[in-house]
């Protein structure tokens, strides 16, 4: 449809949903408060969902039995204003501007005329919310009920997507120094009953990055950014998949990671990961994180775009370590040099997703540069 041919009846001449539907169907706009048809009736628009997440407004409470797809951004803002003023959160059915602008033909003499009630009249009691439509399962398909963990993952990731403007930066780094240090020290750690993996090195490097860029260890609020002075690092642990290929994700938190040396970090990583897989973590061990590590490289992935754990402002993803050809320069890194040569180095790729309200490209890259320097210069 050519929107240039649609007459806008919204504020300032903007084109509304009713304008489009009326133009497309060649008839009148949907009645005031009407939602989308079928399964889409209970789906709010992205603008409405985002506004509700930002203001903390309950969509079902505002809808009061109306289809969620009928709500507008102004309904949500009105409800938030009522709540902040200490009033009951109620929103009357949306007034159909398009119907008011388009003067309908006069009704026939025997037709019933319905007049709009005055603004001061008592609103009609809301109808009870309709039960959600049953899932449509085709013959031969199977409906798998959502586990509690899958529901939490869905809730948290959707909330994060609508709360923080995500951006992701990628960095390649050489893990030669880390792997060399691990090879020399893993027997000593094993003698102490500790398995030395790459994860403790990553957490130590994250702490170095957070110290270099304190804003990466913070929380966004409407009044300002709260800089956290402790480094509580969450580490995402994937749980075993079921027969359908659906697993789970849990994020235990290493408290005060900045106070631990490599041995202390390795012990914490071993302990939390083991107890996470056997569902033996306490509630306190799953709360209070200020930053999160997602080491998806253990499953073979080279790069992902991790979702921020709210209310944190960053999550660092680390891909698998693999040998890649790298040009080793003997002079300026971009100019041809007689001594340049090709080498195969153990490389990995970082994926740093950050809240663009707090960090921008330059500060996010400064954090990654500090992580990279910490790992590549490990002694």
Would you name the residues annotated as active-site residues?
356, 360
- The residue ranges of DSSP E strands in the chain, in sequence order, are 166-174, 218-221, 224-227, 233-235, 237-239, 248-250, 253-254, 291-294, 314-318, 322-328, 341-355
Nearest CA to 60 among 126, 125, 123, 129?
A: 129
* Token pair listed for 366: 């400064």
* Token pair listed for 314: 């960053």
- Contact between 255 and 288 (Cβ < 8 Å): yes
Q: What does the CA dihedral 105, 106, 110, 112 come to, rounded to 10 degrees?
A: 90
Buried b (16+ CB within 10 A) or exposed e, 104-141: eeeeeeeeeeeeeeeeeeeeeeeeeeeeeeeeeeeeee
Alpha-carbon span 279 to 239, nearest angstrom: 10
- The residue ranges of DSSP E strands in 157-232, in sequence order, are 166-174, 218-221, 224-227
Counting Cβ atoms within 10 Å, is residue 183 exposed (0-12), middle (13-18) or buried (19+)? exposed
Q: What does the CA dihedral 303, 304, 309, 311 come to, rounded to 10 degrees?
A: 90
- What are the φ and ψ backbone dihedral angles of 222, each rounded to 5 degrees? -65, -20
* Token pair listed for 375: 């790992």
- What are the φ and ψ backbone dihedral angles of 6, each rounded to 5 degrees? -100, 130
């Amino acid at each position: 449809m050519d929107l240039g041919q649609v007459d806008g009846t919204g504020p300032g001449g903007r084109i509304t949903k009713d304008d489009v539907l009326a133009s497309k169907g060649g008839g009148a706009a949907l009645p005031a408060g009407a939602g989308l048809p079928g399964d889409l009736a209970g789906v709010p628009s992205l603008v409405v969902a985002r506004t509700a997440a930002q203001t903390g407004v309950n969509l079902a409470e505002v809808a009061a039995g109306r289809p969620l797809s009928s709500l507008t951004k102004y309904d949500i803002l009105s409800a938030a204003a009522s709540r902040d003023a200490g009033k009951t959160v109620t929103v009357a059915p949306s007034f159909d501007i398009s119907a008011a602008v388009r003067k309908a033909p006069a009704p026939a003499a025997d037709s019933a005329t319905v007049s709009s009630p005055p603004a001061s009249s008592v609103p009609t009691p809301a109808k009870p919310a309709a039960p959600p439509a049953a899932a449509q399962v085709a013959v031969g398909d199977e409906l798998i009920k959502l586990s509690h963990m899958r529901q939490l993952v869905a809730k948290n990731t959707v909330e994060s997507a609508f709360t923080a403007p995500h951006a992701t930066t990628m960095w390649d780094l050489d893990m030669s120094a880390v792997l060399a240090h691990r090879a020399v020290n893993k027997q000593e750690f094993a003698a102490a009953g500790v398995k030395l993996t790459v994860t403790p090195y990553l957490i130590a490097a994250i702490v170095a990055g957070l110290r270099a860029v304190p804003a990466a260890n913070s929380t966004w609020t409407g009044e300002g950014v709260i800089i956290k002075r402790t480094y509580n690092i969450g580490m995402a642990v994937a749980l075993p998949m079921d027969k359908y290929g659906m697993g789970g994700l849990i994020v235990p938190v290493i408290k005060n990671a900045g106070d631990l040396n490599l041995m202390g970090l390795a012990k914490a990583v071993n302990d939390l990961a083991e107890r996470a897989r056997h569902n033996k973590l306490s509630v306190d061990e799953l709360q209070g994180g200020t930053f999160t590590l997602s080491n998806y490289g253990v499953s073979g992935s080279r790069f992902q775009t991790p979702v921020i754990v709210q209310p944190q402002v960053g999550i660092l993803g680390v891909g698998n370590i693999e040998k890649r050809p790298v040009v080793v320069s003997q002079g300026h890194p971009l100019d041809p040099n007689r001594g340049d040569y090709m080498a195969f180095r153990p490389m990995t790729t970082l994926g740093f997703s950050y809240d663009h309200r707090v960090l921008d490209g330059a500060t996010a890259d400064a954090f990654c540069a500090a992580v990279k320097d910490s790992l590549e210069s490990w002694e």
